[in-house]
Structure 1
Amino acid sequence: MRRYRLRMIASRFDTERLALLPLRVEYAEEMAKVLATPELYTFTGDAPPTAEELAGRYERQLAGPARQDEYWLNWVISSLQDAALVGYVQATVSGSEAEIAWVVGTTWQGRGYAKEAAIGLVNWLRAQGVERIIAHVHPDHTASAAVATAAGLSRTDHLDDGEHLWQL
């Protein structure tokens, strides 16, 4: 028997210190400042996006994928203490599997925000019925490895485009 799922939509959820807010194009200007530090791109080779580039990216993300059985879920991370945007989390869901990613701006790193947001994301996805959660982490990115571990994922020996596959 084939299981059918209603359309999956990112909804706001909170953790102890963070609000994870569904992505909106209006966040592009503030997020461009959050993502402006070149050090954030050490392991990806990318460059900091402009507000205009982010707005275009957010429009595409909000439009969603062409595949009807795939969902792009994106949130910005906001500090409940001062409402500042500090980063983002995202999940691409296909069937009962989700691939997740997280980024916290350098100004806010070292406070446990990435771990808290990733744990919250995994819990949210599990509550939606997602059974398998994966992430890709560069072998030298110890901070992201710690986030993946805290979120309950385990590193596998599988390398994909130079990054280890982590899974729950």
Structure 2
Amino acid sequence: MDEVFLAGLMCRGLEPEQISEMTTIKAESLALVPLRRSHASQLYTILSDPRLYDFIPDRPPETIEELEQRYSLLEKGTSPDGRELWLNWAVFTTADWRPVGIMQATVRRGIDADIAYIISRDVWGVGYGRTATRAMIDHIFTTYDLQAVRALVDTRNYRSIGMIETLGLKPVRFIRNADHFKGEASDEYEFVLSYNDWRMGRNFD
């Protein structure tokens, strides 16, 4: 499917100022498509795996309708006070248009962004998580004049830690008892990629 067609299709019915924030990102064999309510039925199966939520304070959706309601709220693209952009993408393989995950960036223009992601366990080890996350980071750095991108990761989530370190994010802080969910305390590492380090990394690619 054509990238321009997809962007137009997914943004139908939105206000012009919202459309400007909605960009389909091409990344090797993947496409990151702005998340819409209509994606709920496609993503429900992969997001229903409870193992995906071992290290985050969230839970699998119980129904497609629940996921639709959640995505309807996210479609607005901004926090209630308008200070943050809430950018969310559904990740698809371009070969067969198969959903493999979601990407999220909470952007404070001219300052920084927090990133998060969920990738289907069916494709762990393939490299899709790294490819999609790198594409998202490149997009938000080049689009929103950011000074840094950061991620908070549970210290037990070795797979996620390994992945973001390959993208140049560096641990800058250990946060004890950062959260408490599923009956356990969660310690976290804060990882940061500065704009200068990101730019230098791109120069050596």
Question: What TM-score do you get using the length of structure 1 for normalisation?
Answer: 0.90
Aligned pairs for 1:66-85 within 5 A: 66-85=80-99
Q: Which has the larger radius of gyration?
A: 2
CA deviation string 1:77-115 (max 9, x = no partner): 001121001001010011321000011011121111111
Partner of 2:5: none
Partner of 1:130: 146
Partner of 1:149: 165
Partner of 1:163: 188
Q: Distance in 2 between matches of 1:32 and 1:110?
A: 21
Matched residues, number = 163
Structure (1/2) with the larger helix percentage: 2
Moved more, 47-56 or 97-106: 47-56
Q: Distance in 1 between matches of 2:166 and 2:118?
A: 15
* Match status 1:99 vs 2:114: yes
TM-align CA RMSD: 1.6
1:47 deviation in Å? 2.6
* 5+ residue gaps, structure 2: 1-16, 180-186, 194-205
Aligned pairs for 1:6-155 within 5 A: 9-49=21-61, 50-63=63-76, 64-95=78-109, 96-128=111-143, 129-155=145-171
* 5+ residue gaps, structure 1: 1-5
- The structure showing larger relative contact order (alpha-carbon pairs under 8 Å, at least 6 residues apart) is 1
Question: What TM-score do you get using the length of structure 2 for normalisation?
Answer: 0.75
Report percent identity of matched pairs: 30
